[in-house]
Chain A
Amino acid sequence: MLLQRVSANDQGAMAEFFDRYGGLVYSVALRVLKDPGQAEDLMQEIFFQVWKKPEAFVQGRGSLGAWLAVVTRNRAVDVLRRRKPDDNVDDFVLASKTNLASEVEQNRMMEKVRQVLNGLPAEQQKSVEMAFFEGLTHAEIAAQTGDPLGTVKTRIRTALMSVRKAVQA
């Protein structure tokens, strides 16, 4: 596995790792931060931390790409919200559905997810945007939109269930 070679201080493996996941990490960071300079800074920080601490990703906890996508989103939101980075930001388990066999399969699934997200009702899209890409708390979203807390929660859950249903289909 690539990360095992990184653990053995193989710089070639690290370059290969960057070639494979650099675009994904940069794209997620850019989507949240909307600033190319900040997005690259965060990408450099994340890859350098992988080099320093490759054991942070635990095999059997889901796919590496999915793990990196979540870590990048969480770190980017911390930057955006000027929060102190959470120590447990990289410690989580993912379900096996993120283990996609091939790039073709992954592209197909991502296309499905995009279609689902674009087809969500406007208020659900807005809630996901504010919670996931802007890092607002449910209370802040409720305050900004004027919607009850329960409605905000339900919209976010319903949107995620739509994504889940689409990839299971």
Chain B
Amino acid sequence: MSDRAHIPQEDLALYAMHSLSAEESAEVRAHVDDCAECSAELAELLSDLALVAMSVEQHPVPAGARERLMEKVAADAAAEGRKPATVTSISDVPPPRRVYSSIQWAAVAAMIVFSFALLLKNGSLNQELHKQKLLAEHQAAESARAQQVLDVLTAKASQHVLLTSGKARPEPTGRAVYLASSGSLIFQANNLDPLPQGKTYELWVIPADGKAPIPAGLFRPNAVGSASVILPPLPTGVPAKAFGVTVERAQGSDTPTAPILLAGAPAPGE
């Protein structure tokens, strides 16, 4: 790819797909900007790619997506206080008149224009400040609520009570709440048996695609058999077929050791 020769079609295709390195892309861009022939071929290739993209299997948008967008649009319009822009035709603008005025008049006029511009700028900044303040208040409230949820789940003083119908000693249970798209997991267990020294419970995510179980955190129960694992580091976008808990050595393990003490799968359709 030199500046003199045209860019080969193969490289233009890769450029159109952002499949070249940064340096190669910069070189192609510099050439295409000045070369009508390569620019036209790039447009053709982008159109070929557009057709490939448009030919994908069509899916309906998720339920409520339109409403979510329009709520955001309405909120933005309200926050911006946007009004339809008025358009002035060039032909409506009166031709400039040649006026002879003194330096003082020019200075006064300049000051008026400058003051007016400052006034407009000030109004715009106030509006933006108000918008940012509302946003910050909203985010602070959300953050405080999220923190409160975490505090309740993780505080040592929190009472973990499992309600059952009988009087028999309740069995060990665990409850996992998992959001695959962000790799977020909250797990809480009750009535776990105490562990000997040098042992730990380990939580596992069993991927739906049949790959190896992913370790999702080590935990030991408190005096009443409760424990929780909050937001362990997990890869994103891994749907789970099931979750399991095993007993492992204190430093944890890369693969689960039988038996699996607790196991559960998401309900069909979840």
Interface positions of A (Cβ within 8 A of B): 7-11, 14-15, 18-19, 22-24, 26-28, 30-31, 34-38, 40, 43-44, 47-48, 51-52, 62, 65-67, 69-70, 72-74, 77, 86, 92-95, 97-98, 106, 109-110, 113-114, 117, 128, 131-132, 135-139, 153-154, 156-157, 160-161, 163-164, 167
Q: Which of A11, A36, A40, A160 contacts B45 (CB 8 A)?
A: A160
- Whose C-beta in chain B lies nearest to the C-beta of A94? B47
CA A164 to CA B51, docked complex, whole Å: 9
Query: Which residues does chain A contribute within 8 Å of B85, judged by CB atoms?
Result: 7-9
Q: Which of B14, B19, B21, B54 contacts A69 (CB 8 A)?
A: B54
- Whose C-beta in chain A lies nearest to the C-beta of B12? A157
In contact, B62 and A44 (Cβ under 8 angstroms) = no
In contact, B54 and A66 (Cβ under 8 angstroms) = yes
Query: Which residues does chain B contribute within 8 Å of A167, judged by CB atoms?
Result: 51
Query: Which residues does chain A contribute within 8 Å of B188, judged by CB atoms?
Result: none
Query: Any chain A CB within 8 A of the CB of B103?
Result: no
Query: Any chain A CB within 8 A of the CB of B88?
Result: no
Chain A nearest Cβ from B207, distance in angstroms: 14
Q: Which of B19, B39, B44, B52 contacts A137 (CB 8 A)?
A: B19
- Whose C-beta in chain A lies nearest to the C-beta of B64? A40
Q: Which of A22, A135, A163 contacts B52 (CB 8 A)?
A: A163
Query: Which residues does chain A contribute within 8 Å of B60, judged by CB atoms?
Result: 23, 26
* Of B68-76, B136-144, B146-154, B190-198, the one with at least 4 CB within 8 A of chain A: B68-76
- Interface hub of B11, B68, B181 (most chain A Cβ within 10 A): B181
Q: Which are the 10 A-B pairs with shortest beta-carbon distances? A: A66-B50, A153-B10, A69-B53, A37-B181, A113-B55, A95-B47, A31-B56, A22-B61, A8-B84, A160-B48
Assuming A9-B83, A26-B65, A38-B181, is B46 touching A92 (CB within 8 A)?
yes
In contact, A40 and B47 (Cβ under 8 angstroms) = no
Assuming A9-B84, A117-B55, is B9 touching A157 (CB within 8 A)?
yes
Assuming A52-B76, A113-B52, A160-B13, is B57 touching A27 (CB within 8 A)?
yes
Query: Which residues does chain B contribute within 8 Å of A22, judged by CB atoms?
Result: 61, 65-66
In contact, B53 and A28 (Cβ under 8 angstroms) = yes
In contact, A110 and B18 (Cβ under 8 angstroms) = no
CA A109 to CA B232, docked complex, whole Å: 48
Query: Which residues does chain B contribute within 8 Å of A160, judged by CB atoms?
Result: 13, 45, 48-49, 52
CA A82 to CA B31, docked complex, whole Å: 28
CA A70 to CA B62, docked complex, whole Å: 21
Chain A nearest Cβ from B226, distance in angstroms: 31
